[in-house]
Amino acid sequence: MPKHRIGVYPGTFDPITNGHLDIIQRATHLVDHLIVGVARNDGKGPLFSTEDRVRMVREDVAAMDISRTTIEVQAFDILLMHFAVETKCQVIIRGLRAVSDFEYEFQMAGMNARLNPNIETVFLMASDRHQFISSRFVKEVGRLGGDIRHFVSPRVADALIERFAIEVNNGDSSKRVQTR
């Protein structure tokens, strides 16, 4: 009987982008069960609450056409390697966009291997059409009124536009928002 392979794709997903969805889609070719781990990571000052980010990831994943792998979305606020052990995963999946990502990810993979050598880290290169997308850039473009609909799902774009409108309505007139 083949071994049931479980993978974790961790991230802040603030917000989830089409680049993240591409990595999720491709990761389903590598594992039988994929856990998308949404890191609480309050230190990064996320735009969306953990609950909102989990909901957005779940909605985007539910809209994907994937039948070969089960996918679940879980929030976590513990060390990634502890989360990996807790979820019985054998593989951590990380996306790489550019050489600048590699140095950080390489260091993290080395540290994680020291913490638990039984869990492998697998890197998936971002596809060429998603290499430049980052949550940070999407938020910056959207906050300044740029069209973000090519970088995130329609649901996430609507949530971002709504959030930025709230910022403007709360008195930060330095922020411009595209209302559609």
Q: Which residues of the chain have pLDDT under 50?
A: 1, 173-180
In a domain, 70, yes or no: yes
User: Considering the entire predicted model, what is its pTM?
Assistant: 0.89
Q: Which of 130, 134, 135, 139 is catalytic?
A: 135
The 3-class secondary structure across 3-33, one letter per residue, is CCCEEEEEECCCCCCHHHHHHHHHHCCCCCE
Contact, 43 vs 51, CB < 8 A? no
**150 is known as an active-site residue:** no
CATH number, domain of 29, equals 3.40.50.620
Q: Which of 97, 149, 163, 175 is catalytic?
A: 97
State yes or no: is 44 an active-site residue: yes
How many domains does the chain divide into? Answer: 1
Give a yes or no: residue 172 inside a domain: no
What's residue 2's pLDDT?
56
Let me know if residue 174 belongs to a domain. Answer: no
User: Which of these is catalytic: 4, 44, 88, 136?
Assistant: 44
The pLDDT of residue 178: 45
pLDDT value of position 3? 73
Active site residue 135: yes
> What is the pLDDT, as a whole number, of residue 14?
96
Instruction: Give the domain range for residue 72.
Output: 6-132
pLDDT of residue 70: 94
Q: What angle, rounded to 10 degrees, do the helices at 50-62 and 18-27 form?
A: 60
pLDDT score for 66 = 86
CA dist 30 and 54 (Å) reads 23
158 in a structural domain: no
Structural domain includes residue 102: yes
Active site residue 82: no
pLDDT of residue 67: 81
CB contact set of 3 (below 8 Å; sequence gap of 6+): none
Residue 37 lies in a domain: yes
pLDDT for residue 171: 63
104 lies in some domain? yes
**178 part of a folded domain:** no
Closest CA to 93 of 152, 14, 37: 37
Structural Rg of the chain based on CA atoms: 17
